[in-house]
Structure 1
């Protein structure tokens, strides 16, 4: 009896091993035809196989092979926020927030803050004193009164960066009215269970023209969440000059996307730092920022997206910027696309285990003048996706699949990674791209050659990643024209 059980056990193990092996061979050949490197294919297959106890041993073998072949590229020095002076919060010289009501009142403790958020009137500035404010309810709903363009409600830290909102709730501020501005705070998620601390700010329904400017968000699954509600949509919002990051990988089954914008039109996501958004549970897929759900005319520009600032290689997929994310069925107006006429420009995206820019149902997407390093490149996918791709610097490749379309492309510099080694050919162009110093290695580098005219909109005024104005019909490739003074080397 024992011998029969013993034989059955080994037959079962052999069957599982061979199924895993056959799957690996199939996946390997399929991925190679998709243009991935050999180490990248091993890592991708290993990530899938190690997620299941029955195939984990095969996955471990493939991971070892990938590591043996790979030429590792990672962020090899301590992260230093000061290295990128043109993006993220500026507490010394805060950016403009537009209209700020003269009528104000001052709050100094948590109860006063909660009351101010809930009962404030249009045309009011709520000034929050320095210190820590512990917020522990399910959510904190804003006033039911209706602010206007010239009578907004502004919630601001008295001294930017010195008022911390410590949250253990599922959501933080729940904004369902227009013309709110939130500025100068540190939002800190302190939930022992990472399935909580979903949103620091949730913008819903009729909350159009909301501004989220010059803040820091730490340890929230989707720190800024925007979506429609009851047939109303929070259009025309802004997420500017913020810093989004996690202190460790998120062990959650829920979406990990620091900036998550659904259904809403005309949102601008600009000059933010978005980093270390690794998801270690569930499907292990995370995004830095996406728009989806039938949104129109969004802009994602001039952001620094650093998927992983550690030496650790994590299983799963980190993706920088996306039109459509993982997709959603609930789409504004019942449209087929996830986004329409989204612009992705002047961003630096690096150290992502998957692609830097991903279109999933992104119709008429303009992708121009981005610098994408140590990722799998740009992925345009599904028949609803169509893209115009100009003047990008990309390590990896531009992949078009599942009936997607590239309407036009020109002026791009594509640096394929070493097929057998994953070696980055792009390393020679910049001083230290591994650590985010994208200063040109040769000061005589001229990236105007071969570039297409920058696709400025009519009467549009715009600066590049490094803050230099872009003139009409100007030609350059990548996220900036001149790197001088743009990247401060760390000590």
Structure 2
């Protein structure tokens, strides 16, 4: 269309008889009068229309939004003609319902000022539920999480909704539509165009995973979208996914010019391309307007079109699936590395023409397809059963691996893998999909490059009566048409360039996402990353128990708030309180004298964080009083909190149950410092993460704390799944440091099924950001556990220069828990245990594992696989410990595991890794001047004690 074509279309051509005007014939005067009358009427109507529009414009609002509360208010009060424009930034919304309607000439517009620069984040089931008609949603970046189902749920009378130019990332079913009410009303006339749908990871759930999930409705048009990586996790073997479908009696739907890549950045699972009919619909959910009196086996989709779509890399499933699709047209689609098209069940009556596809067109279970001008590359439709057979064979070993499989198990796994590979290779041949033919026609179809290499079979080889007027890139078709989605004789159609043109930054930013790098394995001093400096305050505020909440509500970056001594009646709520790196917010109680005390209240966490950043809390006492409360909590609905410092806090008496905690993070947390706190008489001291692995704790520093008298863990860091995207969340490898702490369960430890280790650390994400993270655990005292071992870990763990004393049982175990151990370094520790000292099992042999330089006094010193060299350790029985070490009294006030003079001297220092900070210091954080087994440098005859500023300062523990 030319640059002036729009104006030309709107020009009014008035039929005037110029010949009559030239001759001034009297008979032409009535005709001219009629023309003038028509002009007057037209002008009157035009003026009326303009007046109507001006009135509507006068009533409409143009609202500029810069924060969450303004956005919620604008959506709540939206009226016809309103345009709500979001400035660049991050918006966190609760689940909202939009019941207002716009009008045909005055829609309600929700848009980003700069396309893609306004990001809407959600961890709720549904972000926006739309009941109202005439909403236009344009240019937004919707970001979900592991458990987020829908960005937009369109229901009932939400007709004429327009969804254009957005990105939907990490949702189960980003756009969901269905009927509601009695009888059910379904949304009609919806446009979904030029959006990006992508998931960073397969969805580990039993809910439908379909980014465009349309049940019922008329005239839905889904055009020019990019859809990639939509799948369930591979172990959900009975769940199929689809890039998009209409079903439930949907009528007159159109899927045109969409690009679907089933496997783009991750693979596995059953991934179908596009579908009319989906997996079928329960009868009570049907849109019956087009199904007549049908009661059973009704058509799922009626009179719908699927044209010009490109569908790539759905290797185990059909590219297009027609399930009870009546009067369907499937034309000019290109399908590569998928099992073609399936037309299934007698209700399917389809015309399938001029498509280009790997595999075949299978009329299955009574389905009928009229085939015209298609180009297929496979021989046998039933070859699509090959992945099913492969999956069932390999399923025998899913979840059955043991840490130490027998040679028979290894042979069985090898043969199973070989057979699976054979079946996959067979499926790629002409017996199944016939990929080689595509590689003859195109330059690099496996890379998405569909430029022609040899187009003799494709160009002008389609039908002459095809009514598809354009191709994937919008170029006009001419008959006989080219086979497939691209009309090559009309010009070049480059997929990447077309996606950049359609989606801009919302697509190109996906290509620019850096691959998480492995950590730098050079020696570094990590102290500098966590050094706390206190910049001069921009405002110095003071508060008392009477006015502290008012003061907190006014906090700004750089504020220092001093809380007076006294008892504070309610909690300290720090939601949306944010400092900056240069101007953190500091809240402190008195350093000396009477404390500022926050007492626990039932149902109210004492310090509550949500979307909090660059905040320091110091010198406060939190007393739970045995109530139903926790101490410091990053709330589950809080999305994130980062750069939080908790230091010199006393946290006690949160012990109503083992599940009550001193410090808890229930949402994503990074760059926390937890330092020099005394936590005692709480159910669980620190519980960092969520049981389902969805709240990662990243790059933390936990140092100098004394954690005692906990029935449950002194501390646990939960395992992590693949991480959700969040603003500024780290993507490169990080290290969580746990150093110079006291972990003691000498008193109040639970027994039986409730028994827990002193410290447990879970695995890192198996894929994506965080998979190269590691724990550095050094200079800690693990003290007593009557009913469990002192330490348990998995993932990548370095454990060195620690003291482990347990007069009741085991020392430490590295074992699979939710994943497997990987890079493991257990170096220069001193262990005195009544049970096994060091136990390593189930570690991944592809990673390094080292046990070296330790002094172990136990009845069973080391249990480890033969692949780990354990010879470079000092091992002795528990009875011999008294002769080698100073004082084995289990009481903290008397315990001293420093070697006796002349003991534990090592002939020479063994080889050590160079990437572990402070490995050349000892437990006391003093330089190692000699060569000794275990955690101490014993150059001096007596224990010199901790270096200044190292370790917790608590009465009665000289060597903590």
Q: TM-score, normalised by structure 2?
A: 0.38
- 1:123-138 aligned within 5 A: 123-135=81-93, 137=94
User: Any conservation in 2 of the 1:302–1:345 contact (CA below 8 Å)?
Assistant: yes
Q: Deviations over 1:404-438 (max 9, x none)?
A: 112x2211111115256865121111111111111
CA distance in 2 between counterparts of 1:170 and 1:180 reads 21
CA distance in 1 between counterparts of 2:260 and 2:496 reads 17
When structure 1 is superposed on structure 2, of 263-272 and 100-109 the one drifting more is: 100-109
Partner of 1:259: 212
Partner of 1:338: 300
CA distance in 2 between counterparts of 1:354 and 1:454 reads 30
Partner of 1:303: 258
Partner of 1:453: 464
Cα 1:358–1:485 change in 2 (3 A) is closer
C-alpha deviation, 1:455, in angstroms: 3.2
User: Any conservation in 1 of the 2:255–2:305 contact (CA below 8 Å)?
Assistant: yes
Cα 1:120–1:448 change in 2 (3 A) is same
* Pairing partner for 2:442 from 430, 435, 439: 430
CA distance in 2 between counterparts of 1:290 and 1:116 reads 32
Bigger Rg over Cα: 2
C-alpha deviation, 1:450, in angstroms: 3.3
Partner of 1:13: none
- 1:77-476 aligned within 5 A: 103-135=61-93, 137=94, 139-142=95-98, 144-190=99-145, 194=146, 196-230=147-181, 231-280=184-233, 282=236, 283-310=238-265, 313-314=267-268, 316-329=269-282, 330-333=285-288, 335=294, 336-352=298-314, 353-406=316-369, 408-416=370-378, 417-419=428-430, 424=435, 425-442=437-454, 445=456, 447-453=458-464, 455-456=466-467, 462-470=469-477, 473=479, 475-476=481-482
Cα 1:454–1:153 change in 2 (3 A) is farther
Question: What is the DSSP-based 3-state SS (H/G/I as helix, E as strand, rest coil) of the residue aligned with 2:495?
Answer: coil
C-alpha deviation, 1:116, in angstroms: 1.1
Partner of 1:484: 492
User: Any conservation in 2 of the 1:201–1:224 contact (CA below 8 Å)?
Assistant: yes
CA distance in 2 between counterparts of 1:183 and 1:362 reads 31
Q: Deviations over 1:318-350 (max 9, x none)?
A: 000001110012211164100001100000001
Q: Deviations over 1:253-308 (max 9, x none)?
A: 00000111111110000000000012115433100000000010000010000000
Kindly tell me the number of residue pairs found equivalent between the two proteins: 377
Cα 1:421–1:380 change in 2 (3 A) is closer
C-alpha deviation, 1:361, in angstroms: 0.8
User: Any conservation in 1 of the 2:358–2:434 contact (CA below 8 Å)?
Assistant: no
Q: Deviating runs (4+, > 6 A) in structure 1?
A: 99-102
C-alpha deviation, 1:154, in angstroms: 0.4
When structure 1 is superposed on structure 2, of 166-175 and 281-290 the one drifting more is: 281-290
CA distance in 1 between counterparts of 2:351 and 2:493 reads 31
C-alpha deviation, 1:448, in angstroms: 4.0
Cα 1:151–1:394 change in 2 (3 A) is same
Partner of 2:408: none
C-alpha deviation, 1:454, in angstroms: 5.3
C-alpha deviation, 1:313, in angstroms: 4.6
CA distance in 1 between counterparts of 2:225 and 2:460 reads 29
Q: Deviations over 1:57-105 (max 9, x none)?
A: xxxxxxxxxxxxxxxxxxxxxxxxxxxxxxxxxxxxxxxxxx9967411
Q: Deviations over 1:234-269 (max 9, x none)?
A: 100010000000001110100000111111110000
Q: Which runs of 5+ in 1 are unaligned?
A: 1-98
User: Any conservation in 2 of the 1:439–1:487 contact (CA below 8 Å)?
Assistant: no
Cα 1:420–1:403 change in 2 (3 A) is closer
User: Any conservation in 1 of the 2:359–2:433 contact (CA below 8 Å)?
Assistant: no
Question: What is the DSSP-based 3-state SS (H/G/I as helix, E as strand, rest coil) of the residue aligned with 1:364?
Answer: strand
Cα 1:449–1:470 change in 2 (3 A) is closer
Q: Deviations over 1:7-55 (max 9, x none)?
A: xxxxxxxxxxxxxxxxxxxxxxxxxxxxxxxxxxxxxxxxxxxxxxxxx
Partner of 2:691: none
CA distance in 1 between counterparts of 2:198 and 2:496 reads 20
CA distance in 2 between counterparts of 1:402 and 1:436 reads 33
Cα 1:172–1:122 change in 2 (3 A) is same
User: Any conservation in 2 of the 1:175–1:207 contact (CA below 8 Å)?
Assistant: yes
CA distance in 2 between counterparts of 1:435 and 1:470 reads 25
Q: Deviations over 1:166-187 (max 9, x none)?
A: 1111001111011000011110
Q: Deviations over 1:378-405 (max 9, x none)?
A: 0000111111010000101110111111
User: Any conservation in 2 of the 1:381–1:400 contact (CA below 8 Å)?
Assistant: yes
Cα 1:351–1:258 change in 2 (3 A) is same
C-alpha deviation, 1:134, in angstroms: 1.0
CA distance in 2 between counterparts of 1:118 and 1:446 reads 57
Root mean square deviation of aligned Cα: 2.2
Q: Which runs of 5+ in 2 are unaligned?
A: 1-52, 379-427, 498-510, 513-960
User: Any conservation in 2 of the 1:454–1:476 contact (CA below 8 Å)?
Assistant: no
Partner of 1:10: none
User: Any conservation in 2 of the 1:361–1:382 contact (CA below 8 Å)?
Assistant: yes
